[in-house]
Amino acid sequence: MRDPVRVSVVIPVHNGERYIAQTIRSALASDLAELEVIVVDDGSQDRSVEIVRSMGDRRVSLLQQHASGGPARPRNVAAAEARAPYVAFLDADDLIRADKLSSTVAALDRHPQAGFAFGDFEHIDADGKVLEGPVLAPKLASCAIVSEPLGEGWRFISQKELARGLLQRNFIGTSGVIVRKSLLADVGNFDESLTFSEDLDLWFRLAHRCAALYREAIGHSYRVAPGSLTYTPTVRTASDRVRVLRRERERRRLPHERKQLARLIAESLATIGYAHRRNQQRLPSVSAFAQALVMHPDVRWVRALVGSLLPSERLIAEQLDSGGSDT
């Protein structure tokens, strides 16, 4: 008979040979022994699979699939295989503290009204040097999140307060989130059509269903390193965020909530517009700023739209050098 498992740690990896061993070892070093680590290789072309197979711990299992282009599918595949009542998310280059899993599982056991738990974290660089920490405390403060102290550094965030706070910003770090597997079955897994903002999409859905627990102590280290999906914002980043925000706006009924989401959508559309303008793509830039203006009127979008209609200084210089004209 297999040992009972209290938490399943889900780790998606794609070409993560540099850090994957450190990440797995940080989970195995937990003071909660009843755990399993499920690594899903998402079509790696490096030594990631070889490294995972060499870990030499029966609590580690490896699943392989063709590259999906993002973390959503491998996380979902692992969660489906999880044997524990709790699923913990951990990215392949992050590190988790030894007491994170045990304290979180105990807190969720004590407070069944909470559907998931998350905690504060620190930023580290490619070599593991701490860059910033704690990261979440100022974000929660900026959202004026109201929470109830529970002891041992834990706080209770009601469903209503959770839903309100997420309208201000995403204050939940995916690594270190521990959710009840039964709740995932109810609200649905990560949206596999999203490469970015797939985490925010899930948090929104959870916030319509349950309360959450938050621990003020740092529970994991988030690595900020070149090569990660979220290191450099792109048009695709903003486009996926727009999709998620539009979807959430459809769920909301209160006018002030819809207005806030419209503002956030407009800002992401403007991000797309500026990116296109930097690439000398004038028509897509104009289109993005026009959509932002319709969604949430702002003089900034008017100025940006006009700026996109006018030839850039670089384009004018090129035309003067060649003797051409803008026809």
The C-alpha atoms of residue 39 and residue 52 are separated, in whole angstroms, by 8
**Ramachandran category for residue 128: left, alpha or beta (phi over 0 → left; psi -120 to 50 → alpha):** left
CA-to-CA dists, residue 242 to 256, 269, 302, angstroms: 18, 7, 20
Q: What does the pLDDT look like over 94-152, one tens digit per residue?
A: 999 999 999 999 999 999 999 999 999 999 999 999 999 899 999 999 999 999 999 99
- 296 Cβ contact partners less than 8 Å away, ≥ 6 residues apart: 259, 262, 263, 265, 266
**For residue 166, what is the DSSP state?**
T
Cβ proximity of 214 and 155 under 8 Å: yes
The C-alpha atoms of residue 219 and residue 35 are separated, in whole angstroms, by 17
CA-to-CA dists, residue 291 to 246, 258, 263, angstroms: 13, 16, 12
Instruction: Grade residue 310 by pLDDT with cuts at 50, 70 and 90.
Output: confident
Q: What does the pLDDT look like over 144-192, one tens digit per residue?
A: 999 999 999 999 999 999 999 999 999 999 999 999 999 999 999 999 9
> Does the domain formed by 7-223 have CATH 3.90.550.10?
yes
List the CATH code of the domain at 235-316: 1.25.40
The C-alpha atoms of residue 218 and residue 278 are separated, in whole angstroms, by 38
Share above pLDDT 90 across residues of the chain, in percent, rounded to a whole number: 87
What length does the chain have?
327
The C-alpha atoms of residue 200 and residue 186 are separated, in whole angstroms, by 17
pLDDT tops 80 at residue 225? no
Q: What does the pLDDT look like over 4-21, one tens digit per residue?
A: 999 999 999 999 999 999
Dihedral of CA atoms 308, 313, 318, 324 in degrees, nearest 10, equals 70
Task: Give domain limits for the chain.
Answer: 7-223, 235-316
pTM higher than the cut 0.75 = yes
The C-alpha atoms of residue 69 and residue 53 are separated, in whole angstroms, by 23
pLDDT at 113: 96
The C-alpha atoms of residue 125 and residue 302 are separated, in whole angstroms, by 39
In the chain, which ranges are continuous DSSP H helix? 20-28, 48-53, 72-81, 100-110, 136-142, 159-165, 181-187, 198-207, 235-251, 255-278, 282-295, 299-309, 313-322
Can you give the three-state secondary structure of 65-109, one letter per residue?
Answer: ECCCCCCHHHHHHHHHHCCCCEEEECCCCCEECCCHHHHHHHHHH
Residue 66 in tokens: 């063709």
